[in-house]
Structure 1
Amino acid sequence: MISFTYSNNIIIQVYDVNAIKVKNVSNGTVGKPVTFLVETSQAGPGNLEVTVNGGRVPTSAQAQGQHTYAISFTPRDAQNHTVELRFNGQDVPGSPFTCRVSAAARIQSPETLDKVSVGRLFEFVVESDTEPSVEVLGPARRSVPVKIDALDGIGYNIKFEPVEVGDHSVEVRLPGGGHVEGSPFLLKSYSAEKVIVTDIRPGVVGKSVSFGINASQAGAGNLEIIVAVNGKNVPNYVQSEGNARFKVNFKPTEAAPHSLSVRFNGHPVPGSPFTCQIASAPISLPRALATGEGLKQAAIKVDNTFELEGFEGVEPQVFVTTPSGDNIICQLSPQGGDTYTATFQPTVVGRHLISVTASDKHINGSPFSCNVFDVSRVSISGLDQQYGPAALGVPVTFSVDAAGAGEGTLELVVSTDTSTVKAEVVACARGLYDVTFVPQTTEPHYVNITFNEVPVDGSPFRVDIQQTTHHIQIGSLA
């Protein structure tokens, strides 16, 4: 209760309780001060008493001028509070007043308040009597549309849908106020659709099999990897290669298709579950051999061969698998006895697997890893001499771009009919080089370039050289 006496220095002590004016009586929130004004300028002298809930809630008064007072109290319970005002023992008009006090606005935390999948609605509830304002900013600080729906007797349901991977800032405020309890908070959006599983190759019982996972663009989350065969899980080991890239290894013990299940934050990644074909261990054919350069390295769109021998009483089977897992045709030509020639023509650049089997079992060394390259994708620029022959003693620089040709060895020789010319090679980027040589004679120079011992288109390139001409003026032209 507040009790205070004031006087306006009028000798005749006359007062009028009906002249007391109470302003700005509003509802309140638990834990936040409720303030209203009492104006007494026309009421005359007297004693003003203010009590909240019969005096159980402390109150305070602060003068706002000569005849105006700010009355404040801080509610601790979410219930109606009764405010009584008396002037010289008489009730002020309208007293007692009722102040409705509600619980402080807060966010009801859903089960997962830290992560959400791109393209899926994220929902949470704000307990509040007043509709909140909600702002959601995506990774690039772009605003995300928000829908707010009223819930009877509970508060408001907030919905929004992230459209890009990354951190989202969520701020919830009440009109004219600060953040509600639990705001602001950070929400990490992710996308299982952006997880890429690569390099799934056929394997052999007893030999380690690996495949890759690239989650660098998927956002924050957890990978769940299960390798199984015939309803049984196979132990797998994950090796981090940095930047959210991983290599998964397992060693099969059964010759049967293995299921590779990959999930990100509980969601299957595109293509999951995958299938990895596992064949039996190599057969006991001690003389069965596969030999030839075509097992290690092959050129695109041309016939590549290797030899098979030692297949006594059994016909070999050959499967060539592309980097994407497709099979390409491999033809077998009997050469007499237990010997065969295998011929295949790859159409894409990259590592191919060559499986050589007999009676559905791999021979020793199978599957073989073959590097397929495309020499036609090696390009040369700067040797066309469109401005005429090069000058004697002046450096000649040209570029070699082998970035799209696949793995291989690039060899380059600059020569004349009588000697070899020194050339300096500078690697500018992966597969991109600048080459410089200085001609010392005027005879034609030839640039020989091969990739994996196959000449590139146009090689050898001819570079003509001319004597540098100096014009010296002697005397006057007049």
Structure 2
Amino acid sequence: GDALKLVPVNRQVSIDIELPNSADLSEVTVTVTAPSHRNLPVKLYRNRDHISANFTATEIGEHIIDIKVRDQKVIGAPFRTHAYNARAIQVGRIPNGVLGQPVEFEIDGSGAGSGNLEILVNGGHVTSFVRNLGNQRFLASFVPHEVLSHLVEMKFNGETVPGSPWQVGVMTGPKMAVLGEAVRLVGAGTTAVFEFSALGFSRDDIDIQIISPSKRPVTARLVEEKGGEFRVEFTPTEVGSHLVEVSVAGQKLPAGPLVAKVYNSALIRVTDVGSGVVGQPCQFRVDASQAGEGQLEISINEGEVPNHVQVVGGGRCLVSFTPEQTKPHLIDIKFNGETVTGCPFVCSVSDTSRVSLTLRNLELIPVNEIARFHMGVDGSGSAELAVSVRGKVSITTLMYYQALKLIVL
């Protein structure tokens, strides 16, 4: 019978055995061995001219049926049959379709066993295609050529697959548009948001794929708003361009992938901020090579002091300015509107033109005697001076100017 071909799991099946007229039921032995090497219970019943052996398979895979009469195997024994489970067929979401565009959906039969899968679209009037993905997974598709609801029916070994049939709506084409900018700057660790419209479609018809600069997928959240508008949200952590691919009913946005250019202002390094002198250029360095793409803004004393930026390549630059006043100069730096860590940087500025030196009698000086020179500071306010004498000497200082601070090095 059919039990020698394919049998369903969890359902009793019967094998008919024809016996010689002189054979008795007690002389017949039927053994059914499951893939796990377990023998299944078998019940024998005598009919008019044959014996029926009933058993129930509980696991998918090959079963071995051995039949003996008076301890002799019947011709052809052992027999092999395969158990299957149509209810284990898993069908992925079938999206609504667009006229003339493939409608694709996945089928997972890895837990169903061996057998024949039948797919009918509109009773077989629309051709369907199946591509093997390996490991008993398949990609099924069909192309609608009429703007009407399509009925997808599926059977496995003649049994209806769970969920069948499916109704698939078909439209002339999705009206899709990007709302706002398709390319945006996004700070690392903050939420990136893109909006688009797809009239006549629901969030079940939309697929979002986001790829980071290192080619890793990024999890996104799709929010359906009113009037056929949708919002994509995700939080990037990696600096660089993230590609956001949006597909509606298998059709991609006409504007192409959306792009989130991710930056991180905390990765900007500011170095070589020292002290300055009135009238002489001061320089410091800014390294934005690891911070991503964006706009760098630099201001000295809230923009009162002009600065010049020289790009040295690789996201690095040399910044210079010339102080005109003896006061601390505050350096503020912003990247894409965000204040760089450490700001404001302070550059102390002094005025050497106020200091005069009298160096008479210092061309030649005797050893072991005191050598003297004079320093003067013009104008009001205080001054901080440093004196350095190279060689084996001891320095004695006398302070005559009330506002003078003298540092001996």
TM-score after normalising by structure 1: 0.42
Q: Compare relative contact order (CA 8 Å, sep 6+) and give the higher one, 1 or 2.
A: 2
Task: Give TM-score scaled by structure 2 length.
Answer: 0.48
